Structure 1
Amino acid sequence: MTTLARRPLLGLLGAAALAGTAAAQPAFPTRPIRVVIPFGPGGGTDNLIRMLEPHVSRALGQPLIIENRPGAASVVGTEMVARAEPDGYTLVALDSSFVINPGLLPSLPYDPARDFAPVTILAHAPVVLLAHPSLPATTLPQLIALAKARPGAFAYASGGNGAPTHLVGEMLKAEAGIDLTHLPYRGTGPAMNDIIAGHVPLGVNGLSASAVHITSGRVRALAVTGDARAEAFPDVPTFKELGLPGVDLYTHWGVLTRAGTPPAVIDRLATAFNEAVLRPDLKQRLNDLGFVPAGAGAARYAETIARETARFTAVIRAANIRPD
């Protein structure tokens, strides 16, 4: 980053710090805070926010009211926050869909850059390729051989058309040269339910939403994204070590609010969420669920949004992915 490019960012951080210490700032919060999750119950975002909720509520002195509002690849719930008052009392908890949708959807009912203010990155996690135990393939090389012998015979479930899990599935198809049928679901929770039930032989899901089911043996993990094996599942190889380095995507989770929210309010929210996700007593539980805690703050989240939006837009165009 050049000196000229750093100056606006440094100025913004300085202004936020001054605002956070200004004696004239009104108290915040004085009433419950709504957290919109634009996905159904049981997915990675839902699991993470509900784990952090009691700690964040206690730190803020007000309860977090969690609302699941799935639909339209997370657009329905996200738009609710874009139309909220810029006062910090309405938040949205999102995964990487926030940086995928601008490249996937021809028009959004909001401007991701103009209508939202980043609060913090909570965590990130690899994506995992799953198989039902009945599938006659216990490793990724075996699956690839099976899929090549029977093109189009096997389907994989994802959390939705254009979701991070869908992108990983398309990366796998392109990198391995196999033909799999994509079955999009309205969220990772419903997708996982059908994988466990054996209605779909394969699935691509966030490791955080899959961990308990892998541990229980209800599904089999064939490979994870990333440069290194997941701490919680050291026996599961990476796509990279199996010769598929192009299958590379990490899901991240963050919290945003309405643009125009006072910097001191954003700082207060970020501090509460960061302290919760970095609690030592939650570290093992988060790791067991496949999350890597971040607690990176607003500036880091803004940089991530800009970088990942450009990256995923390129992936979507290369794979010719279209919305439902």
Structure 2
Amino acid sequence: MTLRRHLLAAGAAMLAVPAIAQPIWPSGPIRIIVPFPPGGSTDAMARLLQPRLTQILGVPVVVENRVGASASLGTAAAARAAPDGNTWVLVFDTHAVNPALIPTLGFDTERDLLPLLLFGTAPMVLTAHRTRPYRSVADVLAAARARPETLTFGTIGNGSLAHLTMALFEKAAGVKLVHVPYRGGGPLAVAAVAGEVDLPIATRPAIGVHIDSGALIPLAQTGATRSPSMPDIPTLAESGVAGIDARAFWGFLGPVRIPVPIATRMEAALRETLAVAEVRERVAALGIDLDPQGAEVFGPFLSRQIATWGQVVRDNNIRPD
């Protein structure tokens, strides 16, 4: 069932119910599940939204970090929650990769969750440690062709968006590199600044501080166009490797049967929060290109992401750590 059909059907059902049975919401504490540990960009986004949502909605809004299985455990909890508007989940790009990477999710990513609001996106940045001789993608390609399967690239994990992006990069450029997966953004950042790998690749929220310090040299960003937050860094296409548009994303979802009035009010509260100048500035500081998009855009966007990255997983026989 498409998202539009869900909303129409839910709206019709609401009209058919006597006024006395209409949902009274919010009726208690609201839980935002973050399926990642504290400290990452997803957690930071949730905690940035939390106080203003509490003020706007008039009930406590709590952030619950529920981690495990590449963020699928926390997302599964949201998918299985009662559709009463009291449980939501804030996801990252792993949400679009997990259906292909983890066959036993226990829920259907597209049918069991309602995509309420896409907050924004961010390209990843392919970097080189300052002690390496690479100052452009051309330098990397020349070295990779001269010494196949010797240059290393580091990511936040096996099957991560960065890993899949580099699989596309290798195919498009006709080179072979060595993947070094780390267990999350923290370990990758430590390894990157220590020079453990030749080419760390991650979003700016993960490694931006080391780019700013000069420890990492930015070579290219992975979006189809340059991010407003990184206008001086060329894209892969501008660097001679065409056909790649890989962007991390942050989005807000709930159980699929949430009544339309509840979904509408929550989306309005989120948009009101994101319209505050201080909030927008802090989101930009996280390295996220804020561009709120509702269900009519977010739903098809997710479907495209799931199809694209699922194909990369299957084509390269990628397995989770």
Q: TM-score, normalised by structure 1?
A: 0.86
Residues 1:111 and 1:10: Cα distance change in structure 2 (over 3 Å): closer
Deviation at 1:140, TM superposition (A): 1.8
Counterpart in 2 of 1:199? Answer: 196
CA distance in structure 2 between the partners assigned to 1:135 and 1:304 by the alignment: 37
CA distance in structure 2 between the partners assigned to 1:87 and 1:216 by the alignment: 46
- Does 1:269 find its partner at 2:237? no
What amino acid is aligned across from residue 209 of structure 1 in structure 2?
A
Matches within 5 A, 1:1-324: 8=5, 11=8, 25-324=22-321
Deviation at 1:239, TM superposition (A): 0.4
CA distance in structure 2 between the partners assigned to 1:296 and 1:16 by the alignment: 25
Contact 2:224 2:246 in 1 (8 A): no
Residues 1:32 and 1:13: Cα distance change in structure 2 (over 3 Å): closer
Q: 5+ unaligned residues in a row in structure 2: which ranges? A: none
Contact 1:127 1:168 in 2 (8 A): no
CA distance in structure 1 between the partners assigned to 2:297 and 2:23 by the alignment: 26
Partner secondary structure for residue 222 of structure 1:
strand
Q: How far does the alpha carbon of each residue in 1:247-297 deviate from its partner, in whole angstroms, 9 at most, with x for none?
A: 321222111112222222222221222222233333344334321212212
Q: How far does the alpha carbon of each residue in 1:215-248 deviate from its partner, in whole angstroms, 9 at most, with x for none?
A: 2334322111223222222221110111111232
Report the more deviating stretch, 22-31 or 63-72. Answer: 22-31
Q: CA RMSD in A?
A: 2.8
Deviation at 1:12, TM superposition (A): 5.3
Residues 1:256 and 1:6: Cα distance change in structure 2 (over 3 Å): closer
Contact 1:16 1:267 in 2 (8 A): no
Residues 1:152 and 1:17: Cα distance change in structure 2 (over 3 Å): farther
Contact 2:30 2:62 in 1 (8 A): yes
CA distance in structure 1 between the partners assigned to 2:315 and 2:247 by the alignment: 18
Residues 1:159 and 1:67: Cα distance change in structure 2 (over 3 Å): farther
CA distance in structure 2 between the partners assigned to 1:84 and 1:173 by the alignment: 41
Q: How far does the alpha carbon of each residue in 1:287-316 deviate from its partner, in whole angstroms, 9 at most, with x for none?
A: 343212122122322222222222222222
Report the more deviating stretch, 57-66 or 89-98. Answer: 57-66
Residues 1:201 and 1:16: Cα distance change in structure 2 (over 3 Å): farther
Q: How far does the alpha carbon of each residue in 1:63-102 deviate from its partner, in whole angstroms, 9 at most, with x for none?
A: 3322333322221221222232222222211122222222
| TM superposition outliers: structure 1 runs of 4+ over 6 Å | 16-19
Deviation at 1:194, TM superposition (A): 2.2
Partner secondary structure for residue 124 of structure 2:
strand
Q: How far does the alpha carbon of each residue in 1:126-172 deviate from its partner, in whole angstroms, 9 at most, with x for none?
A: 12112222222122221222233333223222222222121112112
CA distance in structure 2 between the partners assigned to 1:228 and 1:62 by the alignment: 41
What amino acid is aligned across from residue 45 of structure 1 in structure 2?
T
Contact 1:41 1:189 in 2 (8 A): no
Deviation at 1:14, TM superposition (A): 5.9
Residues 1:277 and 1:212: Cα distance change in structure 2 (over 3 Å): farther
CA distance in structure 2 between the partners assigned to 1:122 and 1:210 by the alignment: 21
Identity %: 39
CA distance in structure 2 between the partners assigned to 1:6 and 1:263 by the alignment: 11
CA distance in structure 2 between the partners assigned to 1:117 and 1:315 by the alignment: 25
Residues 1:16 and 1:166: Cα distance change in structure 2 (over 3 Å): farther
Q: 5+ unaligned residues in a row in structure 1: which ranges? A: none
Contact 2:124 2:246 in 1 (8 A): yes
Count of paired positions: 318
